Amino acid sequence: MKRYLEYTIRMKFTGTSTILKRYQLSQVGDGKLGKHAALVSKVYSGVYNTDSTQLVSITCTELTEKQYNERKSKLEEEE
């Protein structure tokens, strides 16, 4: 059984107080949630913890399959 997740990643530029948000949708197989969460944290820490940017937080919300598909369709329409 798959789990459907939406990550909210908050980051800012060093020396500013403005928070920027981005979202990531993920499907995760049974027994892989912990490994997946650790990978997401590692990747975004590497991307945003630099001289000019700082990772503020990563939050994860579990979605239903219907919510996941609706959000995914909406994102694909915006491309």
Tokens representing 59 are 């939050």
Instruction: Say which CATH number the domain at 52 has.
Output: 3.10.20
What pLDDT does residue 64 have? 98
What is the C-alpha to C-alpha distance for residues 70 and 62, in angstroms, rounded to an integer?
14
Domain count, the chain: 1
Q: Print the domain residue range for 34.
A: 3-78
**Triad 39, 45, 48: Cα angle to 5°:** 135
Q: Kindly write down the DSSP assignment for every residue of 18-55, as one continuous string.
A: --EEEEEEEEE-TT-HHHHHHHHHHHHHHHH-SSSEEE
Report which of residues 79 and 43 the model is more confident about.
43
41's CB contacts (< 8 A; 6+ apart) are: 58
Model confidence, pTM: 0.87
Q: What does the pLDDT read at residue 1?
A: 87
